[in-house]
């Protein structure tokens, strides 16, 4: 039980202010459909953290820290630029209620990629090694991610009704740009 509780607490704290919280807000602002977003976060986190123990060590032996830093930095800067591109679809053109797969699949892919090389993925590898309790660690780190990110989806859905979406995009672009610069300069 210690592995579960420690994993939950460490990841929930590590996620505060992390890029996946920003991603949660962005998805809520773009799609305004919290249930498929939260389900996508859950599925993605389960998959990512289940693979973290097996793949984490292998990937780091293949790609050095410098290469990963450049990939992450470039990706954040590209995301900042993408945030400045206006959406081509208006609210009336949004997918219908029956097309939740689009929101769900987008969330799964976005979260999975955002977690690659992230501190919570590395923490999952280390916690699994320390406790020798893969299932409890994955369950705990997943719960920690949900505790940190699901409320952002619900709050973000209400926030975008009061804040202009363009402002959200500009602030998000600035944050992604800062994250990209920090990654390229060797920050974490």
**Cα distance between residue 61 and residue 103, in whole Å:** 34
Residue 38 — very low, low, confident or very high, per pLDDT cuts 50/70/90? very high
**Cα distance between residue 76 and residue 175, in whole Å:** 9
**What tokens does 73 get?**
């930095």
Question: What pLDDT sits at residue 125?
Answer: 76
- In Å, how far are 17, 22, 65, 123, 188 from 185, measured between CA atoms? 19, 21, 12, 22, 9
Q: Using one digit for the tens of pLDDT, what is the confidence trace for 80-94? A: 776 677 644 334 333
Q: Using one digit for the tens of pLDDT, what is the confidence trace for 128-164? A: 766 777 888 899 999 999 998 998 898 865 655 665 6
Matching residue, tokens 């990937």: 59
Q: Which residue has the higher pLDDT, 30 or 158?
A: 30
Q: If we measure between CA atoms, which residue out of 182, 179, 175 comes closest to residue 83?
A: 175
Residue 44 has pLDDT above 90, yes or no: yes
Listed by start position, the domains of the chain span 2-87+100-184
Residue 17 has pLDDT above 90, yes or no: no
Positive/negative CA dihedral, 143, 159, 37, 59: negative
Residue 173 — very low, low, confident or very high, per pLDDT cuts 50/70/90? confident
Question: What pLDDT sits at residue 108?
Answer: 94
**What tokens does 157 get?**
């859905």
Residue 12 has pLDDT above 60, yes or no: yes
Question: What pLDDT sits at residue 48?
Answer: 94
């Amino acid at each position: 039980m210690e592995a579960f509780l420690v994993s939950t607490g460490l990841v929930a704290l590590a996620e505060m202010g992390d890029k996946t919280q920003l991603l949660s807000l962005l998805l809520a602002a773009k799609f305004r459909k919290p249930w498929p977003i939260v389900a996508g976060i859950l599925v993605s986190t389960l998959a990512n953290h289940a693979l973290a123990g097996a793949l984490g060590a292998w990937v780091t032996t293949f790609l050095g820290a410098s290469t990963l830093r450049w990939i992450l930095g470039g990706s954040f800067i590209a995301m900042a630029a993408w945030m400045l591109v206006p959406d081509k679809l208006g609210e009336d053109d949004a997918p219908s209620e029956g097309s939740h797969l689009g929101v769900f699949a987008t969330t799964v892919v976005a979260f999975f990629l955002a977690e690659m090389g992230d501190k919570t993925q590395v923490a999952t590898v280390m916690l699994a090694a320390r406790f020798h309790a893969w299932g409890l660690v994955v369950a705990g780190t997943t719960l920690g991610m949900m505790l940190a990110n699901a409320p952002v989806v619900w709050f973000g859905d209400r926030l975008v009704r009061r804040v202009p979406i363009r402002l959200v995009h500009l602030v998000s672009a600035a944050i992604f740009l800062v994250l990209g610069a920090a990654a390229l300069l060797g920050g974490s």
